Amino acid sequence: MKWILLTTLLFVMPFVSRASDKLLTAGELADYCRHIDREGLPKDAHGAYCYGYIQGYLEGSVGNSMVDKGGVEYTIMPADNVTTEQVIHIFCKYMTEHPEYGHKGALVAVNKVLLHYNLVTLKAKQNNTSANVQ
């Protein structure tokens, strides 16, 4: 099933146009994610874009670092049991409840959602203790 999804993503991604000079907003990503069916699979090219974005985030964020406003550096660790489908569902739910984040960058919004629902752990680098930063 995953190879079917991957093949679909490879063929439809070129048809989802994005302006290369502009970052994807949370509102745009939420619109794409509304093209996911109840089983969590893409209905069309827009759904495939959403699925690929969220899956790429989850796979690409493991072990990455972020720095908070106080200058503390953290390592990002998504929860072991979180799935792409779960993140899409909660992202859409969060964006419906908080449309004021629609103009923010999609990456910022996905981070915020994962932190809000405790689906990511941040480990402070200086003392190696877990923290939940919001």
Please tell me the predicted confidence (pLDDT) of residue 126: 63
Q: How far is CA 112 from CA 80, 82, 105, in A?
A: 18, 15, 11
* Helix ranges (DSSP H) in the chain: 2-12, 26-33, 45-61, 84-97, 106-116
pLDDT in tens, 97-129: 999 999 999 998 998 899 899 888 888 876 544
The pLDDT of residue 74 is 84
Q: Where are the domains of the chain?
A: 2-15+22-131
pLDDT of residue 21: 57
CB atoms within 10 A of CB 104: 16
Write the pLDDT tens digit of every residue in 70-98: 888 888 888 888 899 999 999 999 999 99
The residue type at 120: V
